[in-house]
A and B are shown apart, each in its own frame.
Chain A
Amino acid sequence: MKIPISWIKEYVDIKEGLGRLAEDLQFTGTKIEAINTSKGDSTFEFEITPNRPDCLGVIGISREIAAIYNRKLSIPASFSHTDFNPAVPNQKVRFKVLQKELCPNYSLGLISLGNITSSPQWLVERLERSGIRSINAVVDVTNYVMLETGQPMHAFDWNKIKGQITLRESKKDEQIITLDGVERTLPKGAIIIEDEEKIIDLAGLMGARVSETDQNTTTILLQVPIYDPLAIRKTSQAVGLRSEASNRFEKKLDPNAHRYTFERVLELLHNTTSGRLVSPITSVGFPVENKVINVSLALIKDVLGLNLKMGEVTAILERLDFAIKSKDSRNFTLEVPSFRTDINAPIDIVEEVGRLYGFNKFPKTIPLSSQQTDYQGEGNFEINLKYHFALLGLKEIYSSSLLSARLLENSGIKVENCLRVANRLVVDHEYLRPTLFIGLLQAILDNRKSKSRIAFFEFGKVFTKGTQKDGLPLQEAKVAAIFTNYEFRDAKGVLEGVLQKLGITNYKVQASSGSTFLGGTSSSITIGKDSLGIFGDIGRQILERSAIEGETYFFELDLELLKSHTKRKTFTPNLKFPTVKESISMFLPDDKKFEDIAQVIKKSAAENYHTMSLIEDTQISGKRSVLIQIEYFHQNHTLKQTDVEKIRGKILDGLKAIDAQPRIKQ
């Protein structure tokens, strides 16, 4: 909302410079976004919070300034102008409200216009400085008074209205052509005003073209209402129309301002166009009685943490136009002015005292500790694991969790299975990620010019369509990593390193039977029945679509499962006796995996098994050949040649039993 400072100065004395004034307003909760100075005047651009519709007008802002500096507010005299009687009110308005809750308070009446149709220059200038274009005398005055009082209204061309006027709730699909020439189809529940023939107003949002004022208008019907804020807001959203008026009507406006507003318009029209009242002023639901609240001084002192005296508190509140009805040493009763619709409970009074006292004058204290600080072992699980990924050489990324359909499809993921927002704003952010894969693949893509080894990791939630017991979709925390220009075994080494760090040893990595979204060879990592995650390489198709050249590997693990399977580690001391190293090379049958051989070796060497490593894994004339180095040991003595031969014998027998062909002489 823009207001020229000269306008405010008419209603309250301002001695302070603009910067100081802006700061003082901001400290008490009325924020100034910008100050623009031109041609000898400055315009303040205000950011008014939705709880303070009373500040959506020059009078409201002036009132705040008067309260801050404890000065007198002098608003235009129309407040006492109820004696403005027409000579001979000769016309009657028949106006009926069908659903009273939609329009509980209003003032209306007829004003005949003189023959001047344009506004005076000072008024046009003020409107322009406030960001509103001059249209004609009637519209300009109603806009001017809205800016002044914060109360919107509507002026109809009285000659275009036939007979009885009714305000009612719209039925679904009723139609109206609004002032802007747009034909609009209404939802059920909008507030409309109609005469005996047609709808003449989409109330609170925009008038109808059929009853619009123009240069031929001689008499206006001025209606200043309070509408049900919810009905206005819902209609505004449903028809996609927001206006200065609807922005105000959808908030809780001063229920008593309509009468004053009517009189103020009348006065201005009288001054500018020689307009005069030609019907009685009808005010319904007026005046509304002010709220009364009981407040204890202790509440204010406790919540603010200030040792305030009763006198200080009531003095502050009186500056804000609260009337103190009674007080003793502990409690007081006050009457809330009608424009403060945001004040409903004692806690609201606490805020008023705090903001006017000045939060920056408060002493700063540190809360006493009332309990022992919880140990954050579990809370630190994530960050500790993040550091471990970094130690393993990976860089952390944060990627978007809202993705486009195109990106998902390119990464091999079907969008039908993804959770989707119902009201996307841009196509780039429409689906919630079902895996961290897409963001990580994108990270590789972002750095594809680099030919060196790159590995990234990310922690975050992934989302699954459908609802759980708690009524929400499944949203699991995951950790995932991607590797490019890495050796397969180096990538797997990182996976093993992560699990080793957490003391997890009892996991299995098994080739997946079906294909997964990765598109290449993929595997599942399991512990018992728990599926910890997946690991594998990215299929050619996906890599080509993303223009990634190097072999790329990926794994994703479930964070909660990692946490629950984490084990405390125990130290293994050095062996007391030397190990015996031995290398065995062999051909592997097609249907056997490395894991099968490893199992046989471990089982055969039994208590003498120490470690094993894969030295070579190649193809020799079409057959897969591996060279494995094994270390044997004995807990209580050095192994003798005969012991070693025995162990080797068992291993070779075991290997032959699974059709591996060891190439070693016994």
Chain B
Amino acid sequence: MNLDKLLNDFQKDLSKTKKSDGLEELRIKYLGRKKGILTKITATIPSLTADERGGVGTKVRKARDRIERLLEEAIRRDKDSREEKIYDVTIFGNKVDHGRLHPISLVIEDIKEIFHYLGFVWTDGPEVESDFYNFQMLNIPPNHPARDTQQTYYIDENTVLRTHTSNMQIRFLKQHKPPIRALFPGRVYRRDMPDATHLPSFYQLEGLLVDKHASMTDLLGVLDFFAKRFFGQQTKVRVYGHHFPYTEPSIEVEVLHPKKGWIEIMGAGMVHPNVLKNVGVDPRKYRGWAFGMGPDRLVMLRYGIEDLRILYSSSNNFLDQF
């Protein structure tokens, strides 16, 4: 078998081949596993006599290498010469259905992030709480009129569904010696008729700082820091006097909403000395401040949602927007 002729034949065939399928056919014709010309030649080698065999193997291998290289080059040239496809970039992409976090989670994370800069940590505790921790330790004795402002679900005489996460102020202070800075996000309950702004269970987030030096000016500074980071640097904040049994002085905080005007976003104040006393912290040595806000309400303000119930509705139309 004249391998030089074979290579010549191959080059002639190659020069005639134009399309990429032709190149594949050519590969099969010469190198195909069963009927390839060169494969057949290789198969005859063992039947040759030792004399005949001398150097044939090497020649065959060289021929194969050459053919393979020429084919590869031809394939590359063929690819290069093909035209670039032009896409219509204005068509709709296919919808990718992916997982998402609920906006309440997103907002709580944002709040944590902002307060983490100021050294706050966070934790949660029981939702079914003793009357003692939910009210009495917070300077709200049984039958106190202040209880009217927090419509309460009872399990029994001494057990309530917590009306605020302030129970965590007590629990946290019982476990950690001041100075402390902590956030308490969690689910709370109020015995209210469900409507666009009320639900029997919703989210609240409280913050607490207890230290040797704690003042109203610090509280106001921190709330301003928060509001500007959460709502935007231009946000205007104002506060006014209010009453909570567990803080003294007490304030409520409003931000100026571009469309709605001044809207109340949280309550706050200096921790009442009685509350510190109740958890065994000496109010002559330590002071504190605390604030409480509704992440649900912040979600509604941020995304322009008018009905609280949508947040707890689980419809894809709602969930897919965040």
**Which chain A residues have a beta carbon within 8 Å of chain B's beta carbons?**
26-29, 31, 49-52, 229-230, 233-234, 250-251, 302-306, 345, 347-348, 350-351, 354-355, 359-360, 362-374, 376, 379, 383, 386-387, 389-402, 419-426, 428-429, 432, 439, 442-443, 446-447, 450, 452-456, 460-461, 463, 471-473, 475
B247-286 interface bits toward A, Cβ cutoff 8 Å, 1 = contact, 0 = none: 0111100000000000000000010110000000000000
Residue in A28, A364, A371, A395 whose beta carbon sits within 8 Å of that of B220 in the complex: A364
Please judge, given known A-B contacts A50-B146, A426-B194, whether A303 and B243 are in contact too, CB under 8 Å.
no
Residue of B nearest to A49 (CB): B243
Residue in B118, B187, B193, B243 whose beta carbon sits within 8 Å of that of A460 in the complex: B187
Contacting residues, chain B, for A359 (C-beta < 8 A): 216, 220, 239-241, 249, 251
A371 to B312 CA separation, bound complex (whole angstroms): 38
Nearest CB in chain A: distance from B156 CB, A = 6
A475 to B130 CA separation, bound complex (whole angstroms): 13
A33 to B143 CA separation, bound complex (whole angstroms): 26
A471 to B245 CA separation, bound complex (whole angstroms): 25
Known pairs A304-B216, A373-B119, A471-B159 / 13 extra A-B pairs, C-beta < 8 Å: A49-B242, A303-B249, A363-B217, A365-B217, A397-B102, A398-B311, A402-B153, A421-B154, A421-B155, A422-B156, A428-B194, A463-B128, A473-B155
Residue of A nearest to B309 (CB): A400
A376 to B112 CA separation, bound complex (whole angstroms): 11
Decide: B159 and A302 in contact? CB cutoff 8 A. Answer: no
Nearest CB in chain B: distance from A399 CB, A = 6
Decide: A347 and B313 in contact? CB cutoff 8 A. Answer: no
Decide: B102 and A347 in contact? CB cutoff 8 A. Answer: no
Residue in A376, A387, A421, A428 whose beta carbon sits within 8 Å of that of B116 in the complex: A376
- A-contacting 9-mer, from B3-11, B21-29, B36-44, B206-214: B206-214
B113-135 interface bits toward A, Cβ cutoff 8 Å, 1 = contact, 0 = none: 00010111111001111100000
**Which chain B residues have a beta carbon within 8 Å of chain A's beta carbons?**
97-102, 104-105, 109, 116, 118-123, 126-130, 143-146, 148-149, 153-156, 158-159, 161, 179, 187, 189, 191-194, 199-201, 203, 209, 211-218, 220-222, 224-225, 238-243, 245, 248-251, 270, 272-273, 287, 311-316, 319-320
Ordered nearest first, which 9 A-B pairs have the shortest CB separation?
A: A305-B215, A29-B241, A305-B217, A390-B99, A443-B314, A351-B249, A49-B243, A355-B241, A364-B221
Residue in A347, A360, A442, A472 whose beta carbon sits within 8 Å of that of B273 in the complex: A347
Nearest CB in chain A: distance from B186 CB, A = 9
Nearest CB in chain A: distance from B189 CB, A = 7
Decide: A302 and B287 in contact? CB cutoff 8 A. Answer: yes
Residue of A nearest to B176 (CB): A374
Contacting residues, chain B, for A442 (C-beta < 8 A): 314
Decide: B217 and A456 in contact? CB cutoff 8 A. Answer: no
Nearest CB in chain B: distance from A661 CB, A = 36
Please judge, given known A-B contacts A347-B272, A390-B98, A429-B194, whether A472 and B189 are in contact too, CB under 8 Å.
no
Contacting residues, chain A, for B193 (C-beta < 8 A): 425-426
Decide: B191 and A373 in contact? CB cutoff 8 A. Answer: no
Decide: B240 and A383 in contact? CB cutoff 8 A. Answer: no
Please judge, given known A-B contacts A354-B249, A365-B221, whether A472 and B240 are in contact too, CB under 8 Å.
no
Please judge, given known A-B contacts A369-B119, A472-B128, whether A395 and B99 are in contact too, CB under 8 Å.
yes
A367 to B251 CA separation, bound complex (whole angstroms): 18
Interface of A (DSSP majority class): loop
A345 to B276 CA separation, bound complex (whole angstroms): 15
A350 to B269 CA separation, bound complex (whole angstroms): 12
Residue of A nearest to B104 (CB): A398
Among B102, B122, B313, the one with the most A-chain Cβ atoms within 10 Å of its Cβ is B102
Please judge, given known A-B contacts A29-B243, A302-B287, A373-B119, whether A362 and B220 are in contact too, CB under 8 Å.
yes
A425 to B145 CA separation, bound complex (whole angstroms): 20
Contacting residues, chain B, for A461 (C-beta < 8 A): 127, 187
Nearest CB in chain B: distance from A378 CB, A = 9
Decide: B225 and A366 in contact? CB cutoff 8 A. Answer: yes
Contacting residues, chain B, for A421 (C-beta < 8 A): 153-155, 161
Nearest CB in chain B: distance from A34 CB, A = 14
A424 to B316 CA separation, bound complex (whole angstroms): 30
Residue of A nearest to B243 (CB): A49
Decide: A425 and B191 in contact? CB cutoff 8 A. Answer: yes
A429 to B194 CA separation, bound complex (whole angstroms): 10
A27 to B225 CA separation, bound complex (whole angstroms): 21
Among A52, A364, A456, the one with the most B-chain Cβ atoms within 10 Å of its Cβ is A364
A429 to B315 CA separation, bound complex (whole angstroms): 20
Contacting residues, chain A, for B105 (C-beta < 8 A): 383, 386, 396
Contacting residues, chain B, for A439 (C-beta < 8 A): 314
A374 to B118 CA separation, bound complex (whole angstroms): 11
Decide: A454 and B214 in contact? CB cutoff 8 A. Answer: no
Nearest CB in chain A: distance from B177 CB, A = 11
A374 to B272 CA separation, bound complex (whole angstroms): 26
Decide: B217 and A364 in contact? CB cutoff 8 A. Answer: yes
A548 to B243 CA separation, bound complex (whole angstroms): 50
Please judge, given known A-B contacts A367-B211, A390-B98, A400-B201, whether A31 and B240 are in contact too, CB under 8 Å.
yes
Contacting residues, chain B, for A29 (C-beta < 8 A): 240-243
Decide: B312 and A393 in contact? CB cutoff 8 A. Answer: no
Residue of B nearest to A429 (CB): B200
A439 to B211 CA separation, bound complex (whole angstroms): 41
Among A354, A387, A420, the one with the most B-chain Cβ atoms within 10 Å of its Cβ is A354
Nearest CB in chain B: distance from A455 CB, A = 8
Residue of B nearest to A397 (CB): B314
Residue of B nearest to A345 (CB): B273
A230 to B141 CA separation, bound complex (whole angstroms): 11
